[in-house]
Amino acid sequence: MSTIESLGDLKGKRVLVRSDLNVPLEWDAGTPVITDDGRIRASVPTIRQLSEAGARVVVTAHLGRPDGAPDPAYSLAPVAARLGELLGRDVAFATDTVGESASATVEGLGEGDVAVLENVRFNSGETSKDDAVRASFADQLAQLADAFVSDGFGVVHRKQASVYDVALRLPSAMGGLVATEIDVLRRLTVDPDRPYVVVLGGSKVSDKLGVIDNLLEKADKLLIGGGMVFTFLKAQGLEVGKSLLEEDQLETCTRYVAEAKERGVEIVLPTDIVVADSFGDEASARVVPASEIPAEALGLDIGPESAQAFAAALADARTVFWNGPMGVFEVPAFAGGTRVVAEALTKVDGLSVVGGGDSAAAVRQLGFEESAFGHISTGGGASLEYLEGKELPGIAVLERD
């Protein structure tokens, strides 16, 4: 797969970079506030490398799901401003993606300058399922550049114009962020150091089916937490009260437990649960055995006994992949399990990988230093699809002959 170095001398060349700048925003008196700039910070090294090489750097990215039309609520303007702060330099901003503003902004760039184009999803061609429509939009994007660098790992599992089609039209390479992500994922799937422990949480078993199917062949231990655990508990004949439950996945969970036993893989389920009669900051939390969840209660976190058991299971691990919080970490009363698991990962003597999405948000919100982990992925969905064994279009297009 081509790297930036394979593109040759970039001095003065226009380089279109597909970054992942899809950060969470909150509105304060009509002003957008970025609540987690992790993805912007992750994009900086590649953009800086290109700028220092003298390229005229043109960044394209999306924010949210604006449904193919301009929407001020999803403008990348505040993201461009934050990128400029992180780079320590002015960053130009085009108020469209392939229109007059984009053309004028790119034309005005000097060597080493950086510009951000407006949200690529303001154009319906970006996500169109019609190859011809998507190709037409990619043609317009390609006219703005002399080369393309794919550095938005969080979108490489999407066959979209700025991810896939534009790579067919320009000399293309992967950026440093994508290269690092792929290297880490390969270490999780090809001859991983052992013991290899996978920690899965989040709300639904159905979101993790492919990952469990694939990693049951590779992992030594599988720790299950989050909302998905209640389907596993119900499959074992336990009552789960009003907790999240996927009735249609009960047989699947039963099969996973049986397959794990056949393969010698240890599945660890919680033995205690933090429950409440309602969800929210004012909820009254209490701990009950996993076998005694009251009929009126909601399970909202793994209990302290289970959290310590999970930490013990991670203590001698050499490779760990974690995707999905153990509970509703946004509420302090239900953040204990996630905090203990995150702390355990910081002590792993080997490779510890936080699989993006809510897991990455959790470690930041709970105050952990990112450097304490081996790797924090910028793409939860892309990471999961890779671990399922699926082809990622945005990677496959860079590997073509």
Q: Which residues carry a binding-site annotation for ATP?
A: 208, 299, 330, 356-359
Q: Which residues carry a binding-site annotation for substrate?
A: 20-22, 39, 62-65, 121, 158
Q: Which residues carry a binding-site annotation?
A: 20-22, 39, 62-65, 121, 158, 208, 299, 330, 356-359
Q: Which residues carry a binding-site annotation for (2R)-3-phosphoglycerate?
A: 39, 121, 158
User: Hey, which residues are catalytic here?
Assistant: 39, 204, 357, 381
Written in H, E and C, the secondary structure of the chain is CCEHHHHCCCCCCEEEEECCCCCCEEEECCEEEECCCHHHHHHHHHHHHHHHCCCEEEEECCCCCCCCCCCHHHCCHHHHHHHHHHHCCCCEECCCCCCHHHHHHHHCCCCCCEEECCCHHHCCCCCCCCHHHHHHHHHHHHCCCCEEEECCHHHCCCCCCCCCHHHHCCCEEECHHHHHHHHHHHHHHCCCCCCEEEEECCCCHHHHHHHHHHHCCCCCEEEECCCCHHHHHHHCCCCCCCCCCCHHHHHHHHHHHHHHHHHCCEEECCCEEEEECCCCCCCCCEEEEHHHCCCCCEEEEECHHHHHHHHHHHCCCCEEEEECCCCCCCCHHHCHHHHHHHHHHHCCCCEEEECCHHHHHHHHHCCCCHHHCCEECCCHHHHHHHHCCCCCHHHHHHHCC
